[in-house]
Amino acid sequence: EVVDINKIHKRFCNKGLKTPRILITGGLGQLGTECAKLLRKSYGEENVILSDIIKPTDNGLTNGPFIFADILDFKGLQKIIVNYRIDWLIHFSALLSAVGEQNVPLAVRVNIEGMHNVIELARQYNLRIFVPSTIGAFGPDSPRNPTPNITIQRPRTIYGVSKVHAELLGEYYHHKFGLDFRCLRFPGVISSDPPGGGTTDYAVAVFHEGLLRKRYKCYLEPHTRLPMMYIDDCLAALFQFLNAPNERLRRRVYNVTAMSFTPEELFNEIKKHIPDLHVSYKPDSRQNIANTWPQVFDDSEARKDWNWTHEFNLEKMVISMIQDVSENFI
């Protein structure tokens, strides 16, 4: 197992709850399959429906339903929600920061129109809806060290703009219609499954390249500090937050994080395990994005309101990633 599902499950399993039926969109991205594994363990295989527009490969998928779902097809989604009696929607479909800048019209469709569809469906069918947001929802005018839960946002990427839009729309639907909208702003998530098209992805790529070739060319400068979190903590936060009773939530959107480091700090930690790792730096346009993002994320509100705590610091994350990547990809 890449993610320690048993441990996360033991930490947060909420026993008294009615079993929800859950639809996950964008299920073949970085978070979807691991999230499905965790939720299936709690709620049963048949009750978690993973979906995407991509055809899955066999490796990595657990048993349990996988279906085609296009978030731009409103009627198609209605049909799925009715046929599968969905109660909760976890909406992962999105173009990330770097890839969004390469195709802005597509990012507008997927990230903004897609959000319009799922939130309206959640209202019509009275679903609990979880949408991830990001450190990318902040911009150059935001305080960067630390970045509090409520502050100036004004991001400069289409990804960030779409996520601020999602946060505000969700809060609006909550206040106007009583929608159970829940949103966590994640930092860079580090997992052995490769993510696609983010600015924080160097912190994943270095493990794959480092273990395979002992060389890595980093597209960010050595001192670029960004908030990060290991996948186990990301899923633990999601699971704990999804199950938190409504009365515990003083807001619908929370910052969560685990650590902050620079490329140089990460590489030095990895070199303790792979001493012959050779790193060089060639910053590209992703540096401009990183320069506008939080360096240290203040998640004290989540820690206070629903007892968020992380387990993985830099040292522990590096050990776990080396093990995951070696076992599953080398």
Task: Judge if the upstream peptide bond of residue 146 is cis by omega within 30 degrees of 0.
Answer: yes
For 214: left if phi > 0, alpha if psi spans -120 to 50, otherwise beta; the answer is: left
Beta bridge partners of 190: 230
Report the alpha-carbon distance of residue 12 to residue 239 in Å, rounded: 7
Site for ligand AKB, rule CB under 6 A? 96-97, 134-136, 159, 188, 198-200
Q: Are 256 and 308 in contact (CB under 8 A)?
A: yes
| Pick 27 or 227: Cβ nearer ligand AKB | 227
Catalytic residue among 159, 216, 219, 254: 159
| Pick 66 or 241: Cβ nearer ligand AKB | 241
Nearest approach in angstroms of CB 102 to ligand AKB is 12
- Catalytic residue list contains 172: no
| Pick 22 or 96: Cβ nearer ligand AKB | 96
Tokens of 286: 């992703």
Nearest approach in angstroms of CB 103 to ligand AKB is 14
Instruction: Select the residue whose beta carbon is closest to ligand AKB and give its number.
Output: 198
| Pick 159 or 254: Cβ nearer ligand AKB | 159
Q: Which residues contact 1 (CB under 8 A, 6 or more apart)?
A: 37
Report the alpha-carbon distance of residue 312 to residue 225 in Å, rounded: 18
Compute CA 85 distance to the chain's CA centroid, rounded to the nearest angstrom. 25
Catalytic machinery residues: 159
